[in-house]
Chains A and B, each alone.
Chain A
Amino acid sequence: MGKSDVAIAGVGASGYYRRGESHPQTIQELLGKALIAAADDAGIPIRDIDGFAYYSNAQAGYGVTMETAALMHALGIPEVTFSATLTMGGGGSAGAIGLAAAAIRNGDAKVVAVTMGLQQGAQRLGAVFGKQAPTPARSFFTAPGMAGPGPGMAPLARRHMHKYGTKREAFAEVAISTRINAMTRPKALIKTPLTLDDYFNARMVADPLCLHDFCMESDGAVAILVTSADHARDLRHKPVHVHACVHGGSADWGGAFLWHNMPDDTYASSGHRTIAKRLYERAGMSAADIDVALLYDHFTPMVVMQLEDYGFCGIGDGGPFVESGAIRMKGGSIPVNPHGGHLSEVYVIGITHVMEAVEQLRGKAVNQVQGAQTALVTGGPAPVPVSSMILRS
């Protein structure tokens, strides 16, 4: 089960910046630097890129489009034979690798770049719903003040606390363990120690979520190069295989999210249960086979709920599970986000998690999980599609 015909051959990133500090670089410049770095990493000329696969509707944040033609022009890429995107938002960050893999398998392109960049100087994602033109659908949640993803997620966290007895200490542990990982990463944007007291003394933003439950606001870009495993074997690094990759989601959660009409049994969840099942079936694996997990951490409770939905613990048990130290690099049963994630390293809409998975499976990560041979990467929780994949060395 699983596949071994497609691999990731190169990863690269621009610099990482606090919100607005990447100015005066443009988004094309940040993306270009990431693509150049990824081609260098793979050991191929950048003109060998002949395909682009995006997610989030090829939007670098909201209202900024990643244009294939502009990237070709800027980087001297003479011709592409594939250019496509997954729909919606950050939920597609893992799934875009599957889109690239489909292009490789179909013979549409030989080297497909998956890229994402973000500059939040002009528009902060945390307040984005209120800034977008009103639509009939959005009006139902913008009118009462659900201005961004934070107030959208907070009621799920509260229902999880009510239904299962989950404590804020569990959310704190996600923030603290992720911070510990970031502290040894040269490129991480937040490396100051975080204690439980710091957590409980922090400003409440959308109760029960405080400042440390939110991902950071930042600028940066990352590129991932996907090619055939045969081609990858001739390149600079050991290939990292795209073992299985899925995207999609259920109408129950991914359709009802943000207007909060999910059924009670899935309301306090990450919206990943159906695709988690499909991923493991496709991979021929279970949670026990995963060595390191790169979980989309825009909000700490969503890490807890993904751990449940991907079977690392029982449904409702995520709080005690993380509080036991299970996700720590030192002594944990499933190390989560050794790169510091969205919470402490940088937030570039999920793609840094893909890059970290590749570095882990090459055995060359800054915070290396010893002997890691399999990595789970997730995109979302967000409206359909969410996505996930298992990479292996």
Chain B
Amino acid sequence: MKLVPFPTSETIIAVDAWTAPVWQAAARGQLTAPRCSACGKFHMQPAPFCPSCLSQEFTWPILSGRGSLYSYTFSKLSRESQDGYCVAVIEPEDAPGIRIVSNMVDVDSDDLAVDMLVEIAFFQPLADNFALPMFRPLKGAARPSDPAPSA
């Protein structure tokens, strides 16, 4: 099944002071996540306090946009549609301990695999000038064997 971005024409993004930087960065074409200035840990979702040390000071490093596909699901856009969308759980390579939920594109659903390497393909525009990063298989990466039960 061909995978396309989840239709976002009606999606309204609500933000608060702590989540806005993620969406504002995406609007600029950048992926970011909050990193505690005191203890250095990343966390998602953004919240008023670092859950590890309760600091309220964060930096917002620009991430590479590469990572791996921790898990995923996909559905048809509608019962009649030939196309689908994939809700993807992504582990960024340079933000240990967090995952972000996004879409996979530029790939057939049959070619998805848990733990495959991915990269940002483009940022899908949303209402209010926000955007959402879309991921695709990392160009040139080998496909992990799937499924591979860990002993």
Contacts and interface: CB of A to CB of B under 8 A. Distances in A.
A138 B16 CA distance: 12
Given A139-B15, A260-B70, A162 B146 contact: yes
Interface string A112-150: 000000000000000000000111111111111110000
B44 A261 contact: yes
A146 B72 CA distance: 11
A209 B73 CA distance: 9
Given A151-B75, A260-B99, A162 B87 contact: no
A155 interface: yes
Contacts of A155: 70-73, 87, 89
Nearest to A207: B74
B87 A261 contact: no
A95 B145 CA distance: 42
A143 B100 CA distance: 12
Interface in B119-140: 126, 132
A266 B87 CA distance: 20
B102 interface: yes
Contact of A162 (B76, B126, B147): B147
Contact of A136 (B8, B19, B89): B19
A44 interface: no
Contacts of A207: 73-75, 109
Interface in B60-87: 70-76, 79, 85, 87
Contact of A134 (B12, B71, B109, B146): B12
Contacts of B99: 259-261
Interface in B7-40: 8, 11-16, 18-19, 23
Interface in A300-359: none
Given A151-B75, A251-B51, A259-B45, A143 B14 contact: no
Interface residues of A, number: 37
Interface residues of B, number: 43
Given A136-B19, A259-B45, A158 B72 contact: yes
A208 B87 CA distance: 12
A158 B101 contact: no
Contacts of A205: 75
Contacts of A154: 73, 87
A135 B45 CA distance: 12
Given A142-B11, A164-B149, A159 B98 contact: no
Contacts of A151: 73, 75, 87
B41 to A, nearest CB: 12
A134 B87 contact: no
A163 B56 CA distance: 36
Given A207-B75, A259-B101, A261-B44, A136 B15 contact: yes
B3 to A, nearest CB: 11
Nearest to B23: A139
A165 B114 CA distance: 12
Contact of B45 (A133, A137, A142): A137
Contact of A145 (B6, B23, B126): B6
A154 B70 CA distance: 12
A206 B147 contact: no
B88 A144 contact: yes
Nearest to B148: A162
B44 A158 contact: no
Contact of A144 (B18, B44, B79, B87): B87
Nearest to B103: A144
B8 A143 contact: yes
A140 B45 contact: yes
Given A134-B12, A161-B147, 17 more contacts: A136-B14, A137-B45, A139-B12, A143-B126, A144-B87, A144-B102, A144-B103, A144-B132, A145-B6, A145-B85, A162-B114, A162-B146, A204-B76, A259-B99, A259-B101, A261-B43, A261-B98
14 contacts: A133-B14, A135-B14, A139-B13, A140-B45, A143-B8, A143-B126, A145-B103, A155-B89, A159-B114, A165-B149, A205-B75, A209-B73, A261-B99, A267-B70
Q: Which 8 A-B pairs have the closest CB atoms?
A: A165-B149, A145-B6, A154-B73, A155-B71, A134-B14, A162-B114, A159-B71, A136-B16
